[in-house]
Structure 1
């Protein structure tokens, strides 16, 4: 049911035409699909990025540990004879080709010797094993302990005598370069994927909504056809009742009230069929027809007020008019008169005796705003989004004394859309309501 209301646009977005609602629905489907796919791609990319960076960092740490452990046997020789004592043919020497370096420290943390291309300026951390990062240099430091026979790493012999420390350094430029290439590749790949997904989303959205739009169009055509076909039999019924009522002598007194009820129901059905036919034919916002002309808006409002003055006097309601002269609007006179007649009629219906209804005009840039304000029963805040929904009326308005089918505001809104404008409403319970009609000026 909620989805159907979104399709029709009559419940949640009452200020939009069905055509605008379908366009908005397409955008929602498209954005939802792209958001979901972008989220999936983003999470996948993050997972790849995290796995890639961590695996490379672990590989680098393992290389540094291998280099440092390979240099452990040389610590005693460096302490006694210096760096020249180190055998240059040892296998670990080949590792220096990777922008690596080694540093030998004594047990007090004093530098004994260093070999390689890059070195960290970080102070030595005198722990068994630690990893540090300085700019683009990764360092790994291990402590070296000794027993009576040889020097060993401290992992399993922490109670032995500390001989010193060995620190291995290596540049992270290659890793950072690889990560940068990965980020670019993921970005370009995701962008290309989103482009193809967007194309697919447009096609899928079109295929998804096309049957709904066709069904809605068929429903609109059915409403128009049914309303058109109903007018003739309803007119015939009304005519027959009028003929019977014009000859009361032929009608039994007990049937007179029945004829009045039938005539009232027939008039209501005729009005309903005409309203439905009008709405079915004017759901979409169209360009102004050739028959439209420029009119002074104050003249239309004056005629509407004159039309409702007797009704207002009968109910004891003050009908006020505050006009601005010489404001032209491009319109169809009958439709624009119907728009304001529906609003004024609605205001008079729900205003109690002794109240007032004020029709005023305000100029706002290229729009003229017509306010129809009353101090009637008002509308609850939770009902405001539904006031322009077809056949909808608030519970307080659903009484036998209040005539109406709940189409007046929907028709007024449709006419406003046809004229390139809109209607807004504000209301407070037991205080009153204010309908504002925005129309573009000529």
Structure 2
């Protein structure tokens, strides 16, 4: 909007500048033409005879002046208050001038128009009698242009303010229903997650009751009940994950919470003991190197969930005989936790997508592993909630490295 107005303002200013200058030149040309008969009077009767010549006096204004020159450019007479204080152009005779195409000059605050005066010696011969130059001050023109510039600036500022206000209002009007829809969606997710917990608990309890009486069930019925139990557990985890993400979204728009200090190294030690057993069951090596006395401010349960999700992914997508590593160190003002593996890896083009909800790589799907695609979305939500950051490095067939930075307490 501002660019359009700037271009328009420059165009308007240039148009008026050219038009006003053209009007000034035309007025001076008319004055010189009206005074042209006086040159013969001056040459024959002298300057005194100008007092009786009224042909041009009615056109002469207070901020103008007229000069008469002979054919050699010598000043013969002058009248008025404003004069072009420079000699007549020495090469004016070679410019092929006439009364319709005068010589226009501008120096400082004065503009001048010069025309040649000819008389007929015969029907085919002209004689150059001399030149007439009319001059005037540019002050009035400059004042008009200054007013125009001021008006354009004020208009531009007004347009800019109005466009900013209208743009802000329009943006607010557009964003408001979107924000409301987003709020309703989050509220629906939270409500649905809450309402689904009781039915799922009832289903799970009923399934467990039937499984406790497996001797009364046929093999086919037992298999179907096992499928129901597995699906119920999966849906229960999905509901809990969605509920957690919904709560995290709400908290992200409120003022940050003040967390207590917690020993991150002790949390990771407990997780290392637990996942070392899980890795051994899958015939994986598990390596951990944890620095001591690393304190951060945070929610202990959420941080456990953060690193549990990362370690579960590493074990899940690392083949038998591989290795999973857990490192903790201090890096300037941050605690740096690295979870590394030599698993299947992630294609480079998919790395920006892995934190999206319900996203799973095709290669992960082919691994026939359980998962809903919310684990890394939860990881990122917890990291952001704790004012940290997470980086990912991965290469297909080589492995992955997740680096989590959390501010030290």
Q: TM-score range by the shorter chain?
A: 0.7 to 0.9
Partners of 1:426 and 1:79 in 2: CA distance:
98
Asked whether the equivalents of residues 35 and 55 of structure 2 are also in contact (C-alpha less than 8 Å), the reply is no
State the 1:376 CA deviation.
Answer: 4.3
State the 1:95 CA deviation.
Answer: 5.4
Distance 1:368 1:57, change over 3 A: farther
The answer to whether residue 154 in structure 2 is matched with residue 188 in structure 1 is yes
Partners of 1:44 and 1:247 in 2: CA distance:
86
CA deviations 1:68-91 (Å, max 9, x no partner) are: 323333344556666555447535
The answer to whether residue 293 in structure 2 is matched with residue 326 in structure 1 is yes
Q: In the alignment, which residue of structure 2 is the partner of 1:217?
A: 183
Q: TM-score, normalised by structure 2?
A: 0.81
Distance 1:244 1:174, change over 3 A: same
State the 1:384 CA deviation.
Answer: 3.6
Question: Which has the higher mean CA deviation after the structures are superposed, 69-78 or 172-181?
Answer: 69-78
Q: Provide the secondary structure at the position in 2 that maps to 1:266.
A: helix
Partners of 1:267 and 1:393 in 2: CA distance:
20
Partners of 1:72 and 1:351 in 2: CA distance:
104
Q: In the alignment, which residue of structure 1 is the partner of 2:27?
A: 63
Q: In the alignment, which residue of structure 1 is the partner of 2:374?
A: 407
Which of 111, 115, 118 in structure 2 is aligned with 1:142?
Answer: 115
Gaps of 5+ in 2: none
The answer to whether residue 40 in structure 2 is matched with residue 73 in structure 1 is no
Equivalent residue runs for 1:158-197 within 5 Å: 162-197=128-163
Partners of 2:63 and 2:341 in 1: CA distance:
84
CA deviations 1:307-364 (Å, max 9, x no partner) are: 3223334455554444443332221100111112222333444444555444444655
Partners of 1:320 and 1:107 in 2: CA distance:
107
Q: How many corresponding residue pairs?
A: 398
Over aligned residue pairs, what C-alpha RMSD do you find? 3.5
The answer to whether residue 56 in structure 2 is matched with residue 119 in structure 1 is no
State the 1:268 CA deviation.
Answer: 1.2
Q: Provide the secondary structure at the position in 2 that maps to 1:262.
A: helix
Larger radius of gyration: 2
State the structure with bigger RCO (CA 8 A, min sep 6), 1 or 2. 1
Q: Provide the secondary structure at the position in 2 that maps to 1:403.
A: coil
State the 1:399 CA deviation.
Answer: 2.8
Q: In the alignment, which residue of structure 1 is the partner of 2:9?
A: 45
Partners of 1:147 and 1:314 in 2: CA distance:
122
State the 1:273 CA deviation.
Answer: 0.5
Distance 1:69 1:283, change over 3 A: same
Q: TM-score, normalised by structure 1?
A: 0.76
Q: In the alignment, which residue of structure 1 is the partner of 2:265?
A: 298
Q: Provide the secondary structure at the position in 1 that maps to 2:368.
A: coil
Asked whether the equivalents of residues 109 and 137 of structure 2 are also in contact (C-alpha less than 8 Å), the reply is yes
Which of 203, 213, 217 in structure 2 is aligned with 1:251?
Answer: 217
Distance 1:202 1:80, change over 3 A: same
State the 1:386 CA deviation.
Answer: 2.7
Asked whether the equivalents of residues 122 and 134 of structure 1 are also in contact (C-alpha less than 8 Å), the reply is no
Equivalent residue runs for 1:254-273 within 5 Å: 254-273=220-239
State the 1:407 CA deviation.
Answer: 1.0
Partners of 1:432 and 1:120 in 2: CA distance:
87
Q: In the alignment, which residue of structure 2 is the partner of 1:342?
A: 309
Partners of 1:346 and 1:216 in 2: CA distance:
30
Distance 1:184 1:361, change over 3 A: farther
Which of 379, 392, 402 in structure 1 is aligned with 2:359?
Answer: 392
Asked whether the equivalents of residues 110 and 136 of structure 2 are also in contact (C-alpha less than 8 Å), the reply is yes
CA deviations 1:361-411 (Å, max 9, x no partner) are: 465554434344445444444434332221122333333613221111211
Gaps of 5+ in 1: 1-35, 151-156
